[in-house]
Amino acid sequence: MRYSLKSLLVNGFRGNRHWTPAWRSPAPRARYDVVIIGGGGHGLATAYYLAREHGITNIAVLEKGWIGGGNTGRNTTNVRSDYMFPESAALYDFSLRLYERLAHDINYNIMLSQRGWLTLIHDHHQMESARHKANWLICNGVDGEIVERAGVARMLPLLNIDDNPRYPVLGAFLQRRGGTIRHDAVAWGYARAASRLGVDIIENCAVTGFERAGDAITAIETGRGRIAAGKIGVAVAGHSSVIADMAGFRLPVTSRCLQAMVSEPVKPILDHVVISPATGVYINQTQKGELVIGGMLDLYHSYGQRGTFPTIEKVLTAAVEMFPAFASMRLMRHWAGIVDIVPDSSPILGATPVSNMFINCGWGTGGFKAIPAGGFLLAHAIATGIPHPLAEAFALNRFRTNRLVDEGAAAGIAH
């Protein structure tokens, strides 16, 4: 049923007893043309775009737990496209543009709130880098600007802008189109839209192994039986190495723990997304009034979705240093996701050493903002067998030629 104010009213009067499942939960079939491993945002988006853009509908999405339960449901929901290398800028801005019309495309309110993404500038060197970034973005056709100190003070009334000897605020880099999205809505919205196009979404279905013929994989062994597959897409973020290992190849990926935390909700006090790379914290306030706070990665390789306290302590200390009034707010919950870190902090998209397996990983700490593009481009690779122009720079083989796209080095910490 289509979602609208009208459907809300009609169903309300009828006692809300006639709503239908957002997505079907069928038993897996014996064979699919395409099987997507991973029921997070990227996997579900891949299925949706395969069906919508390429007319392939005999698709299953296999999720070992519940859809959106990985990083899609654990991240700090920030979106932006202020990347510097043209390859990255094109990729992430394509993603943001897809997000900008997604609610209408899939008839599900993902609550895209383009409240502006502010990167604080604390010294002259950072100011020069920020100016470079703004220039580069404009050359790339992406919006970005420098806000002077006074402007930052107006936008962030609670920011400690006068009395912070260690990290004075000289200004900020602003991308107005940056902001936040309701993360669960992205998973559920894509699932619902894909399901209506015929995609089977199969939860509680862990992949346990592969059947091979030559350099191809013919079938997938799962907790819910054997599933034959024509082509396979992999979008499992922090668990990419595990699937790759089953399929017989290695990736330049290290899985690390990235923590996030929320405060108890209060009335609106922060209207933008603000990040201070130098102090290592980024913050936004949810529609519910909670502060969502994130920061640096945990120090070591981990698959345990539990964070370590020293990181929490560093991140919150930075938050209080930047916003002293936050000292009286309360930390309600902290949790962690497993992110897939690659040496150049850029994604890996497209072909793998297995001829009919295509992968989407390596987004590291920035996967959420890239969900529409990641899905769209993986779908293209699966459907056509060749990389989409936007994905060419991000092939796995770039590590053989050392032609890296090092946003990490160019753009500081990216979330």
Partner 1 sequence: MIVIRCPYCNELRHEEELEYGGEADVVRPDPGSADDIDWTDYLYMRTNTKGVHFEQWCCRAGCGQWFKVARHTVSHEITEVIPYDKKFAHQDRH
Partner 2 sequence: MAAPSNPYRVGEGGLIDRTRPLAFHFNGQRMQGYAGDTVASALIANGVSLIARSFKYHRPRGFLGSGLEDPNAMVEIRDGYGFDAAVRAGQVRLAAGMQVRSVSGWPSLNFDIGALAGYAAKFIKAGFYYKTFMWPNWHLYEPLIRRTTGFGRVDANARPHPRRQHHATCDVLIIGGGAAGIATASALGGSGLRVILADDQPQLGGSLLWSDIEIGGTSAAAWAGDRQAALDGAAAVQVLTDTVVTGAYEGNMFTLLQSFHTDGSPEAPGGIASECLWKLRAGSVVLATGSVERPLVFAGNDRPGVMLASAVRKYLAVHGVAPARELAVFTNNDAGYAAAFAALKAGVRVPAVIDVRDAPPKEFMQRLAAASVRCITGAEVIGTSGGRQLDGITVVPLGGGARQHIRCDGLALSGGATPLVHLTAHRGSKPVYKADVAAFVSGDLPEDWHAVGDACSPCSLSEALTQAHDAARAICRREGVAAPEFSPPDVAQTPGLPIQAHWRAGTGNPSDMFVDFQNDVTVQDIELAVLEGYVSVEHLKRYTTLGMGTDQGRTSNINGLAILAALTGRDMSEVGTTTFRPPYTAVRLGAIAGDRQGPLFRPERLIPAHALHVRAGAVFEDFGWQRPDWYRSNGADREAAVRAEMAAVRSTLGIFDGSPLGKIEISGPDAAAFLDRFYVSNLRTLKPGRIRYSVMTGEDGVIFDDGVVTCVDETLYLAGPTSAHADEVANRLERWRQTEWPELRVGIASVTSNWASFAVAGPRARTTLAALQPDFDVSNAAFPHMSYRAGRIDGIPVRVSRISFTGELQYEINVPARYGQGLMRRLMDISEPACGRLIGMEAWLRLRLEKGYLHVGSDTNGRTTPLDIGMARVVAGKHADFIGKRSLALAYAQSADREQLVGLRAESGQLRVGGRVLADGAMPPCRTEGYVTSACHSPTLGISIGLALIERGHSRLGERVRIFDSGTIVDAEICPPVFYDPENERLQA
Distance CA 296, CA 316 (A): 11
Distances (CA, A) of 332 to 235, 285, 370: 31, 14, 28
Contact between 234 and partner 1 per CB under 8 A? no
Q: Tokens at residue 364, please?
A: 């590291």
Distance CA 336, CA 263 (A): 15
Q: Tokens at residue 120, please?
A: 């604080």
Contact between 265 and partner 2 per CB under 8 A? yes
Q: Tokens at residue 80, please?
A: 């932006």
Question: Torsions phi, psi of 275, nearest 5?
Answer: -130, 140
Contact between 352 and partner 1 per CB under 8 A? no
Q: Which does 189 bind (CB under 5 to 8 A by kind): partner 1, partner 2, none?
A: partner 2
Distance in Å, CB of 212 to partner 1, minimum: 20
| Cβ proximity to partner 1, 319 vs 338, nearer residue | 338
Per DSSP, the three-state class of 7 is helix
Distance in Å, CB of 328 to partner 2, minimum: 5
Q: Which does 372 bind (CB under 5 to 8 A by kind): partner 1, partner 2, none?
A: none
The answer to whether residues 367 and 71 touch, using CB atoms and an 8 Å cutoff, is: yes
Q: Which does 224 bind (CB under 5 to 8 A by kind): partner 1, partner 2, none?
A: none
Question: Torsions phi, psi of 346, nearest 5?
Answer: -125, 155
Q: Which of 182, 42, 47, 174 is nearest to 119 (CA)?
A: 174
Q: Tokens at residue 369, please?
A: 């903002």
Distance in Å, CB of 305 to partner 2, minimum: 8
Q: Report how many residues bind partner 1 under the rule CB under 8 A.
A: 24
Site for partner 1 in 247-286 (CB under 8 A): 250-255
What does the per-residue mask of binding to partner 2 show for 298-327, with x meaning CB under 8 A? ------x-x-xx--xx--xxxxxx--xxxx
- Applying CB under 8 A, the span of 73-81, 144-152, 174-182, 399-407 interacting with partner 1 comes to 399-407
Distance in Å, CB of 111 to partner 2, minimum: 5
- Applying CB under 8 A, the span of 60-68, 137-145, 181-189, 304-312 interacting with partner 1 comes to 304-312
Question: Torsions phi, psi of 116, nearest 5?
Answer: 95, 130
Q: Which does 184 bind (CB under 5 to 8 A by kind): partner 1, partner 2, none?
A: partner 2
Question: Torsions phi, psi of 304, nearest 5?
Answer: -85, 120
Contact between 157 and partner 1 per CB under 8 A? no
Q: Which residue in this structure is represented by tokens 């120090």?
A: 299
Distance in Å, CB of 337 to partner 1, minimum: 14
Q: Which does 386 bind (CB under 5 to 8 A by kind): partner 1, partner 2, none?
A: none
| Cβ proximity to partner 2, 55 vs 268, nearer residue | 268
- Applying CB under 8 A, the span of 16-24, 88-96, 153-161, 243-251 interacting with partner 1 comes to 243-251
Cβ burial of 70 (10 Å; 0-12, 13-18, 19+) is buried
Q: Which does 300 bind (CB under 5 to 8 A by kind): partner 1, partner 2, none?
A: partner 1
Q: Which does 254 bind (CB under 5 to 8 A by kind): partner 2, partner 1, none?
A: partner 1
Contact between 302 and partner 1 per CB under 8 A? yes
Q: Which does 103 bind (CB under 5 to 8 A by kind): partner 2, partner 1, none?
A: partner 2
The answer to whether residues 60 and 29 touch, using CB atoms and an 8 Å cutoff, is: yes
Question: Please, which residues bridge with residue 147 across strands?
Answer: 172
Question: DSSP states of 237-250 as a string?
Answer: GGGHHHHHHHHT--
Cβ burial of 395 (10 Å; 0-12, 13-18, 19+) is middle
Q: Which does 245 bind (CB under 5 to 8 A by kind): partner 1, partner 2, none?
A: partner 1
Q: Report how many residues bind partner 2 under the rule CB under 8 A.
A: 107
Distance CA 247, CA 170 (A): 50
Q: Residue 22: enclosing H or E segment and its boundaries?
A: none
Contact between 189 and partner 2 per CB under 8 A? yes
| Cβ proximity to partner 1, 97 vs 314, nearer residue | 314
HSE (side-chain half, CA atoms, 13 Å) at 409? 6
Chain centroid, CA 408 distance in Å = 16
Chain residues that interact with partner 1, rule: CB under 8 A = 239, 241-242, 245, 250-255, 299-304, 308-310, 343, 399-402
